[in-house]
Chain A
Amino acid sequence: DTAVSQTPKYLVTQMGNDKSIKCEQNLGHDTMYWYKQDSKKFLKIMFSYNNKELIINETVPNRFSPKSPDKAHLNLHINSLELGDSAVYFCASSLLDEQYFGPGTRLTVT
């Protein structure tokens, strides 16, 4: 009965690799988001999709590419990983206003 789920929970990889993080919500929400929490615990929006359409695209490197195959899923693909990409990535969803967050994916780039 998990509301917003993410896989994997932990991801350790080397610089230059390409990796994906998956997110799924079973709440029937229309809008999904990706946030990044840096080492100082500061959370910042990256992307937002509404009914599979991109509506928010913050100033993030174009190595980051979100993909929404349907409104219950929002995946994040990262090319050519860099050390500075190490962070916790949170997926969230909302129907109207209240946002519900997933457990996070801790990405470590070595």
Chain B
Amino acid sequence: KQEVTQIPAALSVPEGENLVLNCSFTDSAIYNLQWFRQDPGKGLTSLLLIQSSQREQTSGRLNASLDKSSGRSTLYIAASQPGDSATYLCAVGETSGSRLTFGEGTQLTVNP
């Protein structure tokens, strides 16, 4: 049974800092990995999707890496802004169009 862990559970940083969020999964036989952002009381916004054959994906100030063999992914946020404050969720997919198994999230606060 796949288990996904995110560390740290909460993170508070000053504006402008670069930061890394960590995600680990127990079963390396994944199909893809998706990073989401969830604002309080809101739904999930997809940030990046990495296929199992890829090593990283980039979107603006976000960079997600995947090391499938070691069961790890990181989300790098450059030059953090107060608007980045949210909960960041990592989720792994087993096959195409299958369920996502989620981590418990990292709650990020960026202080102005």
Contact = CB atoms under 8 A, between A and B. Distances in A.
A27 interface: no
Interface stretch (A63-71, A72-80, A95-103): A95-103
A43 B99 contact: no
A30 to B, nearest CB: 7
A41 B105 contact: yes
Size class of the A contact interface (CB-based, 8 Å): 20 to 34
Interface in B8-32: 31-32
Contact of B44 (A50, A56, A101): A101
Which of A30, A33, A42, A101 has most chain B Cβ within 10 Å? A101
Contact of A43 (B31, B32, B89): B89
A44 B99 CA distance: 9
Interface in B32-48: 32, 34, 36, 42-46
Which of A43, A92, A96 has most chain B Cβ within 10 Å? A43
B43 A98 contact: no
30 contacts: A4-B43, A30-B97, A35-B100, A42-B104, A43-B100, A43-B102, A44-B102, A45-B99, A45-B100, A45-B101, A50-B97, A56-B98, A56-B99, A90-B44, A94-B97, A96-B96, A96-B97, A97-B34, A97-B93, A97-B96, A97-B97, A99-B93, A100-B46, A101-B36, A101-B43, A101-B45, A101-B46, A103-B42, A103-B43, A104-B42
